[in-house]
Amino acid sequence: MTQTPNPAPKPAVLVVEDDPAFSTTLLTLLEMEGYPVEAVRSSGEALERLAHRTYPVVVSDIYLDERTGLDILRRALALEPRAAVILITGKGSLDTVLEATRAGAFDYLAKPFALDRLAKAVAHAASAWRESVAPLTEPGGAPSSALVGISEAMVEVYKFISRVADADSTVLLQGETGTGKERVARMIHDSGARRGGRFVVVDCGAMPASLLEAELFGSLRGAYTGADRDRTGLLESADGGTVFFDEIGEM
């Protein structure tokens, strides 16, 4: 008798919603759909949760407090580039849709929406997450290649990756925009001793100079306007993993 394999466990979801009633509604809906869910009601709580664990799917209101869902989006993707972030708002505009799309939002829902619409969006996000992580390992346990090519030049790239993968050192990747520097950085991370840690992307070209220090090193409560709690920096959150400074020449 053939046994049906157990379905893969559903990924964890973080809900960021400052309206208590709507937060409870979303929490109940997603729990009924079988997702492990955590709900927070402020941007500070959300950033703290994201700094200490990975959430494959994040559902966040845009207008929260001194920070917005766009800040949550950017931090979630910096800590886990494969995460799927769904933004929701009752005050949608062309500007916020464009900004959310450019920042990498998986979906954008305008309130009011039917709850099954959100359930479908989360299901699609969960599916995208599973597809993004599945190719990282093959049956034999070795990392699969995220690069394609057998030319002499590509073989030299593979040799370079193998030499530096286990090195506890800074690595400089040079190349024109679109040549795959982030993909090579990801392969170095996945092939080395740090693959169990986080791979954090810092977009130096998009990060304002005034925020760079706080983003990288964290900040203490009261250090600046709106700093209502201690905040973990990207470097500390990636301890044991890899930080990729994209477009570092723009810093």
Reported as a single tens digit per residue, the pLDDT across 71-125 is 999 999 888 888 999 999 887 666 777 788 888 888 888 888 889 999 999 999 9
Q: Which helix (H) or strand (E) element contains residue 13?
A: strand 13-16
Location of each CATH 3.40.50.2300 domain in the chain: 13-135
Location of each CATH 3.40.50.300 domain in the chain: 145-250
Q: What is the pLDDT of residue 23?
A: 93
Tokens 């370079």, residue located = 160
Q: What is the pLDDT of residue 1?
A: 47
Answer yes or no: pTM beyond 0.85. no
Tokens 């929490």, residue located = 27
From the candidate CATH numbers 3.90.180.10, 3.40.50.2000, 3.40.50.2300, 3.30.750.24, the one assigned to the domain spanning 13-135 = 3.40.50.2300
**What is the overall mean pLDDT for the chain?**
82
Q: What is the pLDDT of residue 121?
A: 92
Q: Is the CATH code 3.30.70.20 the one for domain 145-250? A: no
Q: Under DSSP, is residue 229 helix (H, G, I), strand (E, B) or coil?
A: coil
Indicate the pLDDT class of residue 163, thresholds 50, 70 and 90. Answer: confident
Q: Amino acid identity of 22?
A: F
Q: What is the pLDDT of residue 81?
A: 85
- Distance CA(251)–CA(249), nearest Å, equals 6
Question: Counting beta carbons within 10 angstroms of the beta carbon of residue 135, is it exposed (0 to 12), middle (13 to 18) or buried (19 or more)?
Answer: exposed
As given in the structure block, the two tokens for residue 42 are 């402020």
Which parts of the chain fold into alpha helices (H)? 20-32, 43-52, 69-79, 94-103, 115-133, 152-164, 181-191, 209-217, 234-237
**Rounded mean pLDDT, 209-220:** 79
Q: What is the pLDDT of residue 98?
A: 76
Indicate the pLDDT class of residue 187, thresholds 50, 70 and 90. Answer: confident
